[in-house]
Amino acid sequence: MVRSTYDNRNGYLNTQMIRENTKKQAYRRSVAGKPDAGGKPDLRGLTLPEISRIVEEMNEPAYRAGQITSWVYKKAVGSFEEMTNLSRSFRAELSDRTCLNPLTSVQRSKSRHGPTTKYLFELGDGQKVESVLIGGSRRNTLCISTQVGCAIGCRFCASGLEGLVRNMTTAEIVDQVVQVRKLAGDTRPINNIVVMGMGEPLANYRQVLRAVRIINADWGLGIGARKITLSTSGLVPKIYQLAEEKIQFELSVSLHAADDRTRTSIVPVNRRYPLKQLMKACRHYTGSTDRIITYEYVLLKGVNDRFQDAENLVKLLKKDKCKLNLIPYNPVHGLPYERPDEHRQAAFVEALQKGGLQLTMRRERGRDIDAACGQLRLAESRKALEG
């Protein structure tokens, strides 16, 4: 299997360049993302009806399914032995039919400037992914990953520098929330989930939708649908597909530029789905779901922070019912991009507000711990290759 990324000059999938790197990292994909080497499903990725069917096949009372989901999602156990209200024989048969492979926490970095904490987790096949907990004592947002690496290849992002290795499984996506809940404790309850970590969520559509439904379910992790935000770099067909799901989750679109030339230069998927197609899909989504889309816009010095960029953004969004979130860039080692200074940021905000746009400016959180997507994993990966 060949990993995918976007060509630096042309923006299309470049497989030739990736073949050389694939051999170096083949050991990392030894199980190709399967939940268990024996093919058994991971309990953390199963729904209550699916667990109920397993219980029924085992000729056990139906209430056992609720006990299992309570252990797996509410009590966050890491082994069958911890399910103490289930008989030893029942646990043994359940372990024959399913598995429970929690993520391993390998690194935790806390910001000196606030409560932001970044977690690096190891998956069952040795791959590593990141999750970031942002917020204070009572209101916290967890940013979770959906892929190991990324194929989209946004020029300013660390996640895609080594291409896409594989999709994460439903269980791996869900378990980020489970493990951070355990590690953070009751003093930092997780109120919001943003699916904006490593990877393009809508490129792993089926697993991501299953995961957020488990995260939302009362028998699962119980986080409200409107407290869960899915994101996309602009996969137009998937936006149309998502509109048909009739779900209450929020949607965020990584815009980053309001003209095709600039956007293609930093978000190569724009070559395939240019702004006209993207905005048509977004307006269809809004009309079909009656949900407001949030547009994310990373401010890059001298690239998309000019007065003309602000004018283009006003023209693009002023008639839409939407939110705009400006994000000063978190620099990535080895990439040429910088964040604008505060004066430049303020001037950009003023131009947008004069144009009638409602916006928020995300304050700096976690810069000292490389909180931007993929930075911690990238550093660990480079250490491994060097060592």
Mean pLDDT rounded to a whole number for the chain? 86
Q: What is the pLDDT of residues 266-315, one digit of tens each?
A: 999 999 999 999 999 999 999 999 999 999 999 999 999 999 999 999 99
- 136-156: b or e for each residue (b if 16 or more CB lie within 10 Å)? eeeebbbbbbbbbbbbbbbbb
- We report the CATH number of the domain holding residue 64 as 1.10.150.530
Query: Is 312 part of any domain?
Result: yes
Q: Is residue 181 part of a domain?
A: yes
Q: Report the pLDDT averaged over residues 148-172.
A: 91
Query: Per mean pLDDT, which range of 147-151, 160-164, 250-254, 374-378 is the poorest?
Result: 374-378
* 221 and 339 belong to one structural domain: yes
163 and 301 housed in the same domain? yes
Same structural domain, 92 and 201: no
pLDDT value for 188: 85
| Full residue range of the structural domain in which residue 55 is found | 47-97
110 and 73, same structural domain? no
Per residue in 51-94, pLDDT (tens digit) is 999 999 999 999 999 999 999 999 999 999 999 999 999 999 99
Residue 199 domain-assigned (yes or no): yes
Q: Beginning with the edge strand found earlier in the chain, give each strand of the sheet holding 359-361 in spatial order.
A: 104-110, 117-122, 128-135, 140-143, 192-195, 228-232, 250-254, 293-299, 322-328, 359-361
- Residue 15 inside a domain? The answer is no
Q: To 5 degrees, how large is the angle CA 145–CA 146–CA 147? A: 105
**Residues 161-207: tens digit of each pLDDT:** 878 999 999 999 999 999 999 999 887 899 999 999 999 999 999 99
* Same domain, residue pair 90 and 126: no
Q: Between 284 and 22, where is the model more confident?
A: 284
pLDDT at position 377 over 60:
no
200 & 261 share domain: yes
Residues catalogued as catalytic? 130, 373
Regarding whether 231 and 361 lie in a shared domain, the answer is: yes
pLDDT in tens, 332-342: 888 999 999 99
State whether 375 and 322 are in the same domain: yes
Q: Please give the residue that has the higher pLDDT: either 3 or 284.
A: 284
How would residue 18 be classed by pLDDT, with cut points 50, 70 and 90?
very low
Same domain, 163 and 215: yes
Q: Is the pLDDT of residue 23 over 50?
A: no
Among 31, 65, 97, residue at a domain's last position: 97
Q: What percent of the chain stands above pLDDT 70? A: 83
Is pLDDT at 4 greater than 90 in this prediction? Answer: no
Residues 268 and 180 in one domain: yes
CATH value at residue 373: 3.20.20.70
In a domain, 25, yes or no: no
Q: Which residues contact residue 56 at a Cβ distance below 8 angstroms, ignoring those fewer than 6 apart?
A: 62
- For the chain, the three-class secondary structure string (H helix, E strand, C coil) is CCCCCECCCCCCECHHHHHHHHHHCHHHHCCCCCCCCCCCCEHHHCCHHHHHHHHHHCCCCCHHHHHHHHHHHHCCCCCHHHCCCCCHHHHHHHHHHCECCCCEEEEEEECCCCCCEEEEEECCCCCEEEEEEEECCCCEEEECCCEEECCCCCCCCCCCCCCEEEECCHHHHHHHHHHHHHHHCCCCCCCEEEECCCCCHHHHHHHHHHHHHHHHCCCCCCCCHHHEEEEECCCHHHHHHHHCCCCCCEEEEECCCCCHHHHHHHCHHHHCCCHHHHHHHHHHHHHHHCCCEEEEEEECCCCCCCHHHHHHHHHHHCCCCEEEEEEECCCCCCCCCCCCCHHHHHHHHHHHHHCCCCEEECCCCCHHHCCCCCHHHHHHHHHHHHC
Residue 198 lies in a domain: yes
Same domain, 211 and 358: yes
User: Which of 97, 129, 163 finishes a domain?
Assistant: 97
Of 33-47, 300-314, 373-387, the range with the highest mean pLDDT is 300-314
Q: Is residue 239 predicted with pLDDT exceeding 70?
A: yes
Q: Is residue 31 part of a domain?
A: no
Average pLDDT over residues 251-271: 97
> In this predicted model, what pLDDT tens digit does every residue of 100-124 receive, in sequence order?
999 999 999 888 777 889 999 999 9
Q: What is the pTM of this model?
A: 0.86
Question: 20 lies in a domain?
Answer: no
pLDDT of residue 348: 97
∠ CA(345), CA(349), CA(350), 5° rounding? 115
Strand partners, 164: 149
Are 170 and 306 found together in one domain? yes
pLDDT score at 12: 37
Number of domains in the chain: 2
Q: Is 92 left (phi over 0), alpha (psi -120 to 50) or beta?
A: alpha
